[in-house]
Structure 1
Amino acid sequence: MTLRFYDSATAAVRDFVPLKEGRVSLYYCGATVQGEPHIGHVRSALAFDQLTRWLQTSGLDVTVVRNVTDIDDKILVKAAENNEPWWALAYRFEQAFEDAYDALGILKPTYEPRATGHIPEMHALVAQLIERGHAYPAPDNSGDVYFDVRSWAKYGSLTHQNIDDMQAAADADPRGKRDPRDFALWKGFKEGEPETARWESPWGAGRPGWHLECSAMVTKYLGTEFDIHGGGLDLRFPHHENEMAQSQAAGHGFASFWMHNGMVTYLGEKMSKSIGNTINPREMLEIARPLVVRYYLGQAHYRSVLDYRPGSLTEAAAAVERIETFMHAALAKLFPGGDFGLVAKLPDAFRAAMDDDLNIPAALAVLHDTVRAGNTALAARDDAGTLLALQGVMGMTDALGINPTEAQWQRGGDATAETAALDVLVNAQLAARAQARKEKNWAESDRIRDTLAAAGIDIADSADGSIWSLKK
């Protein structure tokens, strides 16, 4: 089946054909590092992680760029409130984002550029726009440079708006603008701002506008034309609209597809710190294992609203445990020695769901149907049926990044070398215990079980083998 995705620019699901055969270039907006990551940030990164994994599973070579906005009005304000250097605050929160991404198994991007490292590229883009008649320096010698929205006839085409219906751009003082909707490409240095937050430019000392940063960085790493631009739905306007306008006005083809993930709500309402209905990734990870949090955040269709409510993670944990229980039981039955060589396979129905605009809910339905079929095969002692189901489940969980057997998720999601070593040592003890039981050496069998119990290891025995877990 042909890959098909919803393109925000055309408001339609259409066939996806990479610009370069066998290769996909993907850019999605990363963090503006002004504070701790919230659940919406992580959901967006996870949506594009799922997209990346599926493109790779489909045999495509994927180059992923995720930016870091480390200079911005809000960063300067927060740093001043905290009485700390803006760059220190930005780096601290950048690490908080990275920790959240890593905890949930989100793949590292190919490139993760910071805005402050690409000032020359931004200057070059502004110069192009001025030369083409789509940008102008403010006439008041403030050092501001604006994009002239009325000079670009296609302005508003991404979000399908008429320019006269748009609100004024609130990213800079309107004193030097030809039109209130013109947005800042370069912001002249203002009195009271940190000296470290200024760069020299042909138009005066200052710093870049938010929209300019992304256009310059994506062009640097993916070229003037690339396959997919992604981000949260809240970025469509004005951020992505302005990105597209300034890039295309500079003569760039820019993105072939625009993909946006939906928002996260709390009991049907928009999350807001002012009314106290927010939950962040750190709080979620205190409630549930990382694998469960990843499953929960990734279970809905990427374009839909994901509604969080008390009990959401409990439901996700039950779903994950059904998958884990089958996989551990099947592996113990089919590969009691602990070593297994298994070629994972993907059911056709799963492929069809994922190819159809990344339909995760339909794909998960196939996964859980396969688990049920596998449990039926286990109960019937049907080794062939169990193996077939296990191959399908492993293929699907690999593609979704939720395979419970991966080191990332072992025993609570700790992917350290210590955890991997613990798994090897305990399984070796279980193999020795299984041999003792086979030889009816019950004293040795009990000794091994007691030793493991004293170390905090629970053993669950069945006719098909033993499974271990850490005591709660």
Structure 2
Amino acid sequence: MTLQKEPLKPIEAGKISMYVCGPTVYNYIHIGNARSAIAFDTIRRYLMYRGFEVRYVSNFTDVDDKMIKAAAEQGITVPELADKYIAAFEEDTKALNILPATVRPRATENIPEIIDFVQALIDKGAAYEVEGDVYFRAHLDQNYGMLAHQDLAQMENNAAGRLDPLENARKEDPMDFAVWKAAPDDGTIAWASPWGNGRPGWHIECSVMAIKYLGNHFDIHGGGIDLAFPHHTNEIAQAEARTGEKFVNEWLHNGFVTVGDEQTKMSKSLGNFTTVHDLLNELHDPMVLRFFMATTQYRRPIAYTTDNLKLAERNLTKIKNAYRNLNFRRTDVQMSQKLDVDMQTQVQRILQAFEIAMDDDFNVQNSLAEVFNLVELANVYSTRAEISEPTVTLILDKLTELMSVFGVENLAEDETEVTFEIDQLIQERENARSNKDYQRADKIRDMLKQQGIVLEDTNQGVRWHRE
């Protein structure tokens, strides 16, 4: 609301209530949708890292005009279409290690609550019915438009070319918006209401579900910057008209994902989108996409290019290699059991700097720099002749903990099949070296290098990592 950084002051000490607008499930989610899900999952994870108990609610819009059209095109019902793409959403977000929402409500599961909400707005004089449609009186909200930092006159002027003249003729004011829509008599999905058969307006769904699961007043509401107006603006107006209370303390909006040389916003309506479903089939590791998205500060736009994705992959590989190299030293039976106090101090300084960066509006770029400081520390320590087991554990545990904030876990794991094949080749190389067949040993090393696998001969044996 203020366009300023504000101290986070939870309504209830130690707890955060958080609502994030979810997808309309008429297609696979694209990378722009994933950006929002990953950005707010990263924020959620950091709040949990800082010790907060987070109640995280994110919805599915499972009925609207786009869904009705898509269901008709596919020859299935709207609920069948919703089930299909909700299952796909859950599959894709699981691959990206996005934590399940505390509650993931569907609009169609909350129709009675939506009807009651609309009726309450009518009773308060905040909404009115015309031919089965119900509209909210936007002018009644003196602060309408504050979130978008525009006044009503600006908004009306900006929207003039997009407003439907026929609908405007039914409204008291052009800026009034539908909270309930009359359904045409064509057999499409609809529900009985005091105003006739119809379905909810898009904006009313989120207000109703947010209040139902988080209360009249909660801490954080998130979504893409394109939702600030009209969606979030209308949410505020109708929610506060209904409850008489402040709706949300903090509004967080993530930036767009842009594509191409002209950096055009990625969207389904423009047809320039890449679905997460397709991209996950192409990527060697889904965590590359997760890492790419999670390491840009949530408010900034992300330029989606193959080169940027490859850069993220290289950076993630550096982190994993540092973890694996130091973890490999655990095979050293000569390790001391005494914690290295100097290394402990350096780790603590890095953790403190990481938290300072993340406390500053979730500045993931600066916090990632601290992760790489810890990576450098791990690399240096892994090459020491004498190391201690508690120090190795400390560094690895903290690297794991920080990367978990970005949603990247299992740093030591690789595909079992690939690891088995590499280990077999390493053993074959060792046998060749024992038999002084150095030509065969060198050939195996070169063969692995062509696959991006680098071998290192150490005092503890042979270890490998990806380039």
What TM bracket, shorter-length normalisation?
0.7 to 0.9
Residues in 2 aligned to 1:351 and 1:220: alpha-carbon distance in whole angstroms? 33
Aligned partners of 1:147 and 1:183 also within 8 Å: yes
Q: Secondary structure at the match of 2:298?
A: coil
Contact (CA 8 Å) 1:375, 1:386: kept in 2 or not? no
Aligned residue number for residue 269 of structure 1? 264
Residue 226, structure 1, aligned to residue 218, structure 2 = yes
Supply the AA of the counterpart residue of 1:214: C
357-366 vs 306-315, which deviates more?
306-315
The answer (yes or no) to whether the contact 1:148–1:182 under 8 Å persists in 2 is yes
Find the partner of 1:348 among 342, 346, 352: 352
CA offsets per residue over residues 282-309 of structure 1, 9 Å max, x none? 3332134111111111111110010012
- Contact 1:332–1:465 (Cα < 8 Å) also in 2: no
Deviation for aligned residue 1:271: 2.8
1:283 lines up with 2:286 in the alignment: no
- Would you say 1:321 and 2:305 are equivalent positions? no
Q: Deviations over 1:399-439 (max 9, x none)?
A: 22213437xxx435xxxxxx6xx79x969x99xx8xxx9xx
- The equivalent residue for 2:399 is 393
SS at match of 1:260: strand
Tell me which amino acid in the other structure corresponds to 1:260: H
What SS is found at the alignment partner of 1:71? coil
| 1:34 aligns with one of 20, 23, 26 | 26
Distance 1:273 1:311 in 2: 23
Cα separation, 2, equivalents of 1:254 and 1:373: 46
Name 1:176's counterpart in structure 2: 170
Deviation larger for 357-366 or 387-396: 387-396
> Which residue number corresponds to residue 441 of structure 2?
none
- Superposed displacement of residue 175, structure 1: 3.3
Separation of aligned partners in 2, 1:184 and 1:21: 37
Taking a change above 3 Å as real, the CA distance of residues 131 and 334 of structure 1, as seen in their structure-2 partners, is same
Secondary structure at the aligned position of 2:29 is classed as coil
Tell me the secondary structure at the aligned position of residue 6 of structure 2. Answer: strand
| Cα contact 2:148–2:229 (8 A) shared by 1 | yes
Contact residue 265 and residue 305 of structure 1 kept, 8 A: yes
CA distance in 1, matches of 2:292, 2:386: 32
Match of 1:157 among 125, 146, 153: 146
SS at match of 2:221: strand
What amino acid maps onto 2:266 in structure 1?
Answer: M
Q: Is the 8 A contact 1:263 1:306 kept in 2?
A: yes
Deviation at 1:83, TM superposition (A): 2.6
Q: Indicate the residue corresponding to 2:439 in structure 1.
A: none
CA distance in 2, matches of 1:378, 1:287: 30
Aligned partner of residue 2 in structure 2, secondary structure: coil
Shift of 1:115: 0.2
Please say if residues 294 and 402 of structure 1, whose CA atoms lie closer than 8 Å, have aligned partners that are also in contact.
Answer: yes
Is it true that 1:242 corresponds to 2:234 in the alignment? yes
> Does the CA contact (< 8 Å) of 1:134 and 1:152 recur in 2?
no
Q: Distance in 2 between matches of 1:174 and 1:294?
A: 44
Asked whether the equivalents of residues 326 and 381 of structure 2 are also in contact (C-alpha less than 8 Å), the reply is no
Q: Distance in 2 between matches of 1:165 and 1:123?
A: 31
RMSD after superposition? 3.3
Deviation at 1:87, TM superposition (A): 1.6
* Counterpart contact for 2:32–2:267, Cα < 8 Å: no
Q: Report the residue type matching 1:326 in the other structure.
A: A
Residue 277 of structure 1 and its aligned partner are, at CA, apart by 4.2
CA distance in 2, matches of 1:209, 1:71: 10
Deviation by residue 1:301-350 (Cα, 9 ceiling, x = unmatched): 1100100122222111110110111101111103569xxx9999771100
| Alignment-derived partner of residue 370 in structure 1 | 374
Give 1:131-210 correspondences, 5 Å limit.
131-138=123-130, 142-166=131-155, 167=159, 170=163, 173-194=167-188, 197-210=189-202
Contact kept, 8 Å, 2:256 with 2:266, in 1: the verdict is no
Please tell me whether residue 411 in structure 1 is matched to residue 414 in structure 2: yes
Task: Return the offset for 1:386.
Answer: 5.2
TM-score (normalised: structure 1):
0.82
Are residues 247 and 382 of structure 1, via their aligned partners in 2, closer, same or farther at CA, if it must alter by over 3 Å? farther
Q: Deviations over 1:14-60 (max 9, x none)?
A: 10011011111110001101211110100100011001111111111
The CA deviation string for residues 328-377 of structure 1, in whole angstroms up to 9 with x for no partner, is 1111103569xxx9999771100111111101000111111221222122
Letter of the 1:352 partner, please give it: I
Q: Percent identity?
A: 37
What is the CA distance between 1:469 and its match in structure 2?
Answer: 7.8
| Aligned partner (choices 62, 69, 91) of residue 70 of structure 1 | 62
Q: Partner of 1:16: helix, strand, or coil?
A: coil
| Matched positions, count | 427
Asked whether the 8 Å contact 1:411–1:469 carries over to 2, the reply is no
SS at match of 2:5: strand
Aligned AA (1:269): T
Query: Does the 8 A contact of 1:39 with 1:264 survive in 2?
Result: yes
- Partner deviation per Cα, 1:149-204 (whole Å, 9 max, x = no partner): 1122111111111101212575893332101111100111212251xx11111121
* 8 Å Cα contact 2:132/2:181 also seen in 1: yes
1:95 aligns with 2:84: no
SS of 2:17's partner is strand
C-alpha separation between the residues in 2 aligned to 1:308 and 1:381?
Answer: 43
